Structure 1
């Protein structure tokens, strides 16, 4: 079995330089790195990860807590994070918290016990106070899809309030004034902020906010179906529907067709997140782009820069959502829209 000394001899560099290459140290030139990597390949050298960890006090692993591992939103997030680390020889350990405070705490304790070099946390149940306290520990903590002012230099977040605003504005721009809203659960900050954006758009156009036209869902397809059924059963008058995410929008679209709605002529619907399936729905779902994949890449780069001292591109901490127009919105028409949506 080849040794690090043989690698250094064949590459014509010091053992220390080989070690820096193995640890992805930014101080090594590209030419030197190529020589060392070529020597390792020729000799079939495989570094001992345990020995590396003891020598560098690094495990080259990053722990990631997410709310769930199913669904397109979290899949995109995790893919962005993992690909960025894998490109630089780091590995990721994922665990889930299921939006439950105790489970999220257990997940974080597990990741810390694995001696991860840093933690990336997507938390929906933990308080700001708990996360601030956690950040004072020995393991660096980085937040994604969450902003805490005291930890701002380690947060990657989306302007959810603006996203909720432009979603409802898109409906208003089509002439709609009676707009129902299916929100995510309000203990989740992003759901709360999106609802606030919805309210701001209504207020800007002098449209009264009607609590009877709000349903609090679960960010899942069933929540969208349940929300639309609630509005129909309670005989609310509405011609358009804004949903707090795309999964709820897809559930609402399915139930609308089952109730004889012609979309978008009888009911305009807009979602939020722009997950991959939105362009395959019928009609194709208009939505708000949430660049969660880019945010995953960005939080990983932040860890690489702050923890591993790697050269990275500039860090963007706040992302701005954008409107993605497709086919599920139509101009308000007093005939079929008002009749069908309230019947």
Structure 2
């Protein structure tokens, strides 16, 4: 096995300089860096990350659990994290929990067994108690898109109640009273909290909540489509639809058009998240902006603060939603 000492002898530099090149520090002159890299190439040197981690007690890897890899939401979130972590010369191991309690726990334990320095968790099925217990262990852990009061300092989330409220209030301000609501999965915190916000806006306006105008979906486009068909089949009257996310809103629009309704001339539709495609629909989708990339970046900053002692990072634990008015809503 080629050693750092052999590389240093061939390059004509000290072993400490070789270590600085391996760790990609900024204190090595470019000419010296090239000498070391050429020597490593000639000798076939491979840096032993495992040995280095045993010596430093750090692997410079962060375990990342998300429900799935489908769609732009989780891609944007992970991209925000990766951008911050890569600048700090850290790496991500990504696993999927598929909103299943046993799978989420299995993936968390697998990442811990691989000696990840810290965890970023977007988990939906494991209990608050499990996460509270995990937070008390030695591995730094931040939870995204979920707020648990007992470990609030470990959480980075959006104010989903406020976002749900803002979406429905926008429809009410446009004169709508018969507002259908397509919720996300109600075993998920964001699905519950966005529905709470919807109900708050109705109550504030003196509009009675009608459970017959609410259909539970699963945050997928097909469930938005199915929800609108269910409302039509039940002969429910509505002039607007508030959707728990943009994917469901796109499915809802397809179903409305299939039943001969124009958006927004006949029915207004509002989404939630502001994922990439929402502004490319025709007309462009009115939605609630979820700064998902910013939340991913904030989670990475939390990790750098708590796992690596980089306390220069400013943290915001609860991010604010924003109403984006586009073409799918109009005054009644």
* TM-score, normalised relative to structure 2: 0.91
Query: Hey, what does 1:281 align to over in structure 2?
Result: 281
Residue 137 to residue 37, structure 1, CA distance change in 2 (3 Å): farther
Q: Please list, as runs of the form range in 1=range in 2, the aligned pairs for 1:10-159 lying within 5 A after superposition.
A: 15=16, 33-35=26-28, 39-44=32-37, 47-159=47-159
Aligned mates of 2:240, 2:12 — CA distance in 1: 67
Moved more, 149-158 or 270-279: 149-158
**Cα distance 1:54–1:328, how it changes in 2: closer, same or farther (>3 A)?**
same
- Report the CA distance shift for 1:280/1:308 in structure 2 as closer, same or farther (over 3 A): same
Residue 143 of structure 1 aligns to a residue in which SS?
Answer: strand
Q: CA RMSD in A?
A: 2.4
Specify the alignment match of 1:215 in structure 2.
215
Alignment partners' CA distance in 1, 2:34 and 2:223: 53
1:67-118 Cα distance to aligned partner (Å, 9 max, x none) = 1111111111111112221222211111111111111111111111111111
Instruction: Quote the residue 2:324 is aligned against.
Output: 324
**Corresponding residue SS for 2:27:** helix
* Conservation of the 8 A alpha-carbon contact between 2:21 and 2:28: no
Deviations 1:42-85 (CA, angstroms, capped at 9, x unpaired): 31056432232122111111100101111111111111112221
- Secondary structure of residue in 2 paired with 1:65: strand
- 3-state SS of paired residue (1:34): coil
Asked if 2 retains the 8 angstrom alpha-carbon contact of 1:246 and 1:274, the reply is: yes
Inter-CA distance 4–291: structure 2 relative to 1 (3 Å threshold): farther
Structure 1: gaps (5+ residues): 25-31, 333-343
Return the alpha-carbon distance in structure 1 between the equivalents of residues 62 and 5 of structure 2. Answer: 25
Report the CA distance between 1:137 and its aligned residue: 2.2
Equivalent residues, number: 324
Question: Are the counterparts in 2 of residues 62 and 91 from structure 1 also a CA contact under 8 Å?
Answer: yes
> In the TM superposition, what is the alpha-carbon distance from 1:159 to its structure 2 partner?
0.2
**d(CA) in 2 for partners of 1:180, 1:138:** 46
| 1:185 equivalent in structure 2 | 185
CA shift in 2, pair 1:181/1:38, >3 Å: farther
Counterparts of 2:179 and 2:199, CA distance in 1:
11
- Return the offset for 1:290: 0.3
- Give distance in 2, aligned partners of 1:242 and 1:268: 8
Shift of 1:300: 0.6
C-alpha distance in 1 between matches for 2:55 and 2:125: 37
- 1:305-320 superposed matches below 5 A: 305-310=305-310, 312-320=312-320
C-alpha distance in 2 between matches for 1:188 and 1:11? 59
Q: Which moved more, 1:32-41 or 1:95-104?
A: 32-41
1:3 aligns with 2:4: yes
Task: Show the counterpart of 1:340.
Answer: none
User: Contact 1:184 / 1:216 at 8 angstroms: preserved in 2?
Assistant: yes
Distance change >3 Å, CA 319–CA 22, structure 1 → 2? farther
- The DSSP-based 3-state class of the residue aligned with 1:242 is strand
Matches within 5 A, 1:221-300: 221-300=221-300
Secondary structure of the residue that 1:35 maps to in structure 2?
A: coil
SS at match of 1:215: strand
Range that drifts further, 301-310 or 152-161: 301-310
TM-score, length-scaled by structure 1: 0.88
